[in-house]
């Protein structure tokens, strides 16, 4: 049984895409946290 | 880990080509230069609108509008990859250059479209989210898939997609659409034909090669030059309307009138450009000035509003 053999270029670009995706996911978590915070404090202040 | 017997994953050569696309290639799909104009005009809509928005939500709104605009750019590149490959201006884009596969671009564009609209709706309001969704649909479907290849008026009607961002910015703050936001829309809407046809004049042969019916190819140089002038005059006129409607000062009105005179002046240069001129220097000058013009008009509106709001001059 053999696995898919990735070329060096494919490995490098996949790693780059994974890092970018991780950054975007983390940014989304922060974004939703900030939105929640602003909405709640706005609601309390209002 | 995929388990496949005797398979060598050589990109392009094997039965299954594995992607070599980088994050940078995906970023390029978003048309960052177009995005900068969208961000700027959307920001102008946010700033000029009456009322206030939480600055953090304002930033999130700008981010969503930028990503939505980028998503429509990716969808445009997915659909237009066949003609992009032929034109010198677009041949190095990620899909025709073979760095990103079409289905990757399609998935990327659709995902970003959904995320940008939903987040704008949840964070700010659903009217602005609806306008953003309509803008993406208008650019990707109405302009790219339908108008672009079927009528020489493609960019006149399609220009609406690029003109919506200040209206979305306005809707983020006010939760509505008003005559003032329609005027902001009209400034970019009427500016687009003169801006784009100046480019089309000196890239005419490119558009001819791929059969896209741009006005210079269909109606000829002379008609295009007259229409450029007509739209430049209309743009110059609409750009002073904020002063008459009372949401910009007389100072802004004078500034917009001077800039408008410049826009018309450069358009006259194009009008008197000799037929068949290969260098087309006046058209290139008009194209460059048109970008400066739009940035200056929206900068002027924002500055004018901030001066009035913070009382920097009495």
Ramachandran assignment for B302, one of left (phi > 0), alpha (psi -120 to 50 degrees), beta (any other): alpha
ipTM of the predicted structure?
Answer: 0.85
Instruction: Provide, as residue numbers in chain A, all residues whose Cβ is less than 8 Å from the Cβ of B60.
Output: 31, 34-35
B136-154 pLDDT per residue, tens: 999 999 999 999 888 888 8
User: CB distance from B67 to chain A under 8 Å?
Assistant: no
| CB pair distance less than 8 Å for A16 and B26 | no
Task: Give the one of A2, A17, A42 whose C-beta lies nearest to B5's C-beta.
Answer: A2
Residue B8 β-bridge partners: A5
Fold of B23-177: Tetracycline Repressor; domain 2 (1.10.357)
Those residues with Cβ within 8 angstroms of residue B138's Cβ, 6 or more apart along the chain or in another chain: B158, B160, B161, B164
Q: Residues spanned by CATH 1.10.357.140 within chain B?
A: 23-177
- Average pLDDT rounded to a whole number, residues B214-222: 87
Q: What is the rounded CA–CA span in Å between residue B197 and residue B145?
A: 20
Confirm or reject contact between B82 and chain A (CB < 8 A): no
Q: Which residues, including other chains, have CB under 8 Å from residue B75's CB and lie 6 or more apart?
A: B105, B106, B109, B110, B113, B136, B139, B140, B144
pLDDT digits (tens, 9 = 90+) for A1-46: 777 888 888 889 999 999 999 999 999 999 999 999 999 887 665 4
Furthest CA-CA distance within chain A: 65
The angle formed by the CA atoms of residues B81, B86 and B88, to the nearest 5 degrees, is 110
Full-model pTM = 0.88
Question: Nearest CB to A35: which of B4, B7, B122?
Answer: B122
pLDDT greater than 80 at residue B94: yes
At residue B312 the predicted structure's pLDDT band, cuts being 50, 70 and 90, is low
Q: Which of B9, B19, B23 to mutate to test the interface with A (most CBs of A within 10 A)?
A: B23
Return the pLDDT at A5.
84
């Amino acid at each position: 049984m053999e696995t898919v053999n990735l070329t060096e270029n494919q490995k490098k670009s996949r790693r780059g895409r994974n890092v970018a995706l991780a950054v975007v996911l983390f940014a989304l978590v922060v974004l939703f946290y900030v939105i929640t915070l602003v909405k709640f404090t706005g609601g309390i202040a209002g | 880990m995929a388990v496949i017997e005797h398979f060598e994953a050589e990109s392009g050569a094997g039965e299954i080509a594995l992607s070599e696309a980088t994050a940078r290639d995906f970023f390029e799909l978003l048309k960052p230069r177009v995005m900068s104009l969208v961000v700027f005009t959307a920001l102008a809509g946010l700033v000029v609108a009456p009322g206030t928005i939480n600055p953090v939500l304002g930033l999130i709104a700008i981010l969503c509008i930028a990503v939505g605009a980028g998503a429509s750019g990716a969808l445009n590149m997915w659909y237009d990859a066949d003609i992009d490959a032929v034109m010198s201006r677009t041949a190095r884009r990620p899909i025709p250059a073979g760095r990103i596969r079409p289905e990757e671009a399609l998935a990327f564009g659709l995902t970003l479209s959904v995320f940008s609209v939903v987040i704008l709706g949840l964070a700010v309001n659903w009217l602005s989210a609806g306008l953003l969704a309509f803008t993406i649909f208008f650019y990707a479907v109405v302009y790219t898939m339908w108008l672009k290849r079927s009528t020489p008026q493609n960019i006149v009607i399609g220009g609406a997609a690029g003109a919506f961002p200040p209206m979305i910015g306005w809707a983020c703050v006010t939760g509505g659409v008003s005559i003032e936001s329609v005027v902001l829309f009209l400034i970019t809407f009427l500016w687009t034909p003169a801006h784009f046809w100046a480019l089309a004049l000196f890239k005419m042969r490119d558009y001819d090669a791929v059969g896209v019916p741009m006005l210079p190819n269909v109606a000829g140089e002379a008609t295009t030059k007259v229409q450029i002038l007509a739209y430049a005059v209309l743009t110059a006129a609409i750009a002073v309307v904020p002063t008459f409607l009372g949401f910009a000062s007389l100072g802004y009105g004078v500034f917009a009138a001077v800039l408008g005179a410049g826009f018309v002046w450069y358009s006259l240069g194009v009008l008197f450009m000799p037929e068949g001129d290969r260098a087309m220097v006046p058209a290139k000058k008009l194209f460059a000035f048109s970008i400066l013009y739009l940035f200056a008009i929206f900068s002027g509106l924002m500055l004018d509003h901030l001066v009035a709001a913070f009382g920097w001059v009495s």
